[in-house]
Amino acid sequence: MRFRSKSLLAFLALVFISSNLLVAYNSPMGKAQAGTSVNGIIYSDTTWTQANSPYSLTANVLVENGVTLTITAGVTVNLNSYYIMVNGTLQTLAATDADITFVGGTIIFTQYSAAGNTSQGCIMQDVTYNPGTYGSGSIFVDGGSPLILDCNLGVGITYDGGSPVISNNNMTAAGFTDGYGRLQYPIAAVDLEGGTIQPGTAFIENNVISGPYFTASIIIFGSNCFAEGNLITENRQGVGISVTSGWVTNFSNNTVTFCGQAISARGYFGTFAYNNLQNNTYNVYLTGPNSLGSIANLNATYNWWGTTDSQAISQTIHDFYSDYTLATVYFTPFLTAPNPQAPSVNEVVTNPTPTPTQSPSQNPTKIPTQTPTTTTAVPELSLLAIVPLFLSVFSVAVILRHRKAVKLKQ
């Protein structure tokens, strides 16, 4: 009996020691998970790498004039409702399609940021950008001229001047839940709300834009814009246009399909030709005079309307013949077949998956002046650690009970 008791004690002691080793290995002190917290002003060229990913903003970040922030393949950046303001250069260097991820917050390209038409300029390429909690997440072109290419964007782009190139992106209205539990969607994929800061021209080319954006897939208001080769589909309103005299909007070689209103126009100016407009409730819906009070007729010739029946085409147009306060849409002559230079309506749309994992936070009203800080994130105690911890406690209890029994026998 004594031999068996000693063997039992030895076994329980072994369980106790090994359990504690497992707990230590899985504890925050024993095993850390890489991660970097950042905030403040970046004063010198900096590279964010996969080894130190994910990067999480704990306050706003400013990339100073003449400074380059480079983000390499495999990096995830959680903006946590804060922003990265770029006065210098932001460049993403992905190895494969969309293998750099941004979540929540805002990226701001100011008028001081390096133009993307140079090798040292601002470029976002092969990026997936998902909305955070309550729909935080956007790209704001505030007078800058970045290249935004080959990205999966579940967030919208807002424009206030500059000459960005927005090309070959997959842009999807990713839904999010607001603070009241209601499902919401971004205002627009591209919202060109004027050009008051560093006026320029926005180039929107060869994008696939899909889903129920709140206002329109593309909003054009008082901005120079060239939109060509885009597929716009599955929205209440494809393109909302409200252009004042003197601004130029060229809309050609696009396909707009399965929308309530393919084009909702108010005082339209510019080129509108060689587009494929089909399977929409209204192909053109005029809403009134432009913001200067002028009523201008719309030259919509040389477009494909989904049919060669003039009467059927006119039924998809809301203009003077529907409301005598409106201008007239002239659509003849029209294309007698789809324009092959525009995207096919059968083109496959691959939607990015939103991952709203960030908890809400308040944006500071001022840009922090401290230099970026780096901290290491650690995991919580895992289930693998809890099991050996239970065994350890059980072993101690059995040993103490055995010792008490031995004393009573003595």
DSSP 300-348: --S-B-S-S-HHHHHTTEESTTT-TTS--EE--S--SS--TTSPPTT--
Mean pLDDT by 10 residues, the chain (410 residues): 50 49 42 77 97 96 97 95 96 83 96 85 94 82 94 93 94 79 84 74 95 90 89 91 68 96 81 95 85 71 97 96 90 97 73 36 34 43 45 53 56
pLDDT at 194: 67
Measured from the Cβ of residue 196, the count of other Cβ atoms closer than 10 Å reads: 12
Angle between helices 383-409 and 2-26 (to 10 degrees): 150
pLDDT at 181: 75
158 in helix, strand or coil? strand
**Are the CB atoms for 187 and 156 separated by under 8 Å?**
yes
| C-alpha of 378 from chain center | 27
pLDDT at 278: 95
pLDDT at 132: 81
| C-alpha of 375 from chain center | 26
pLDDT at 365: 30
pLDDT at 287: 86
Degrees (nearest 5) of the Cα angle 86, 41, 71?
55
